[in-house]
Structure 1
Amino acid sequence: MYEKILIPTDGSDTAEVAVEHALDLAETYGAELHTLYVVDTDSMSLSLGPEQLDRIEQGNWGEMDEVRERAEGATRVVADRGRERGIDVVEHVASGRPHSVIEEYAEDHDVDLVVMGSHGRSGIRRALLGSVTERTLRSTDIPVLVVDAQ
């Protein structure tokens, strides 16, 4: 049923719960697991200049090594746990508007299912879902499994 599963992660506790579901599904279906961390350039635009944002979007992190390390660390955790269970894992770090990047990545890689937490690192909960999750649900035709940490 599922050949490729995408788990966007930001390293938050809610994302961690979603990772467990994605790992279980990938193991059950023998699916390849893709883990994606999106550096939210909209949020970062408040503290960075246009030149810095352009460099990040082109993969030149420069003084933003801490952000890159956090992103790679979050995907590495998923990849390590997947490989321990014999799951093929593809890691990817990108920048942009998170819901747009998630949608584009899923379509470009023929993902069958997106598994994501109900809200992320911000800790600000909307009525039911975090803004990235809500926007992802509205912007893609690919099935999305939303996992709540509560």
Structure 2
Amino acid sequence: MNEIKKVLIAIDNEPSSEKVALHGFQLGSRLNAEIALISVIDTTMIMTEGSVTPMEFAETMKNECKKNQQLLVDHVFKDYKVWTFVEEGKPHEVILNMAQEWEADIIVLGTHGRKGISHLLLGSVAEKVLRHAEKPLFIIPTKS
């Protein structure tokens, strides 16, 4: 097994992101690994009404992700150096592409544990990453 030197932590803007980030940080810091946070704006799902364009909405979402990441960096990671990425696209594809580009050794992400119609409608980013990943995954259940 290869040594884990880089940990990529995928988060969204849900309250459960802190739990995922904390588990990822614990793993990365114990291994003295580099750590990166990635948030993805799903541009395939953006629909807007009124005077807000999809591009403006995406920009607003990017800013929210950046704020969320900064709060996590300040609260969870404190003095630990953390890379941050906010990207656009299909979340599972972007996460997998970033893992390749950044040369992550493991991907940490959460799963909401949705079932039934909500799973069918929303899909599962974790499930799609799992099906297509070429890297090890550390999946954190975030269901309360």
In 2, Cα distance between the equivalents of 1:64 and 1:134?
24
Question: 2:94 aligns to what?
Answer: 101
Q: CA deviation at 1:47?
A: 2.8
Gap change, CA 1:70 and 1:138, over 3 Å in 2: same
Q: Could you tell me whether the CA contact under 8 Å between 1:103 and 1:140 is conserved in 2?
A: yes
Question: 1:35 aligns to what?
Answer: 37
* Residue 89, structure 1, aligned to residue 70, structure 2: no
In 2, Cα distance between the equivalents of 1:74 and 1:81?
10
Question: 1:67 aligns to what?
Answer: 61
Gap change, CA 1:81 and 1:27, over 3 Å in 2: farther
* Residue 117, structure 1, aligned to residue 102, structure 2: no
Q: CA RMSD in A?
A: 2.3
Tell me the SS of whatever aligns to 1:110. coil
In 2, Cα distance between the equivalents of 1:35 and 1:82?
12
Q: CA deviation at 1:83?
A: 4.3
In 2, Cα distance between the equivalents of 1:21 and 1:64?
28
In 2, Cα distance between the equivalents of 1:33 and 1:79?
11
Gap change, CA 1:138 and 1:70, over 3 Å in 2: same
Runs of at least 5 residues in structure 1 that lack an aligned partner in the other structure: 57-61
Question: 1:24 aligns to what?
Answer: 26
Equivalent AA in structure 2 for residue 139 of structure 1: H
Gap change, CA 1:82 and 1:90, over 3 Å in 2: farther
Question: 1:15 aligns to what?
Answer: 17
Question: 1:3 aligns to what?
Answer: 5
Q: CA deviation at 1:82?
A: 5.1
Question: 2:48 aligns to what?
Answer: 47
Q: CA deviation at 1:5?
A: 0.5
In 2, Cα distance between the equivalents of 1:101 and 1:112?
16
Question: Normalising by structure 1, what TM-score?
Answer: 0.77
Q: CA deviation at 1:65?
A: 4.2
Q: Could you tell me whether the CA contact under 8 Å between 1:37 and 1:74 is conserved in 2?
A: no
Runs of at least 5 residues in structure 2 that lack an aligned partner in the other structure: none
Q: CA deviation at 1:75?
A: 1.7
Q: Structure 1 stretches (4+) deviating beyond 6 angstroms?
A: none
More displaced 10-residue stretch of structure 1: 131-140 or 94-103: 131-140
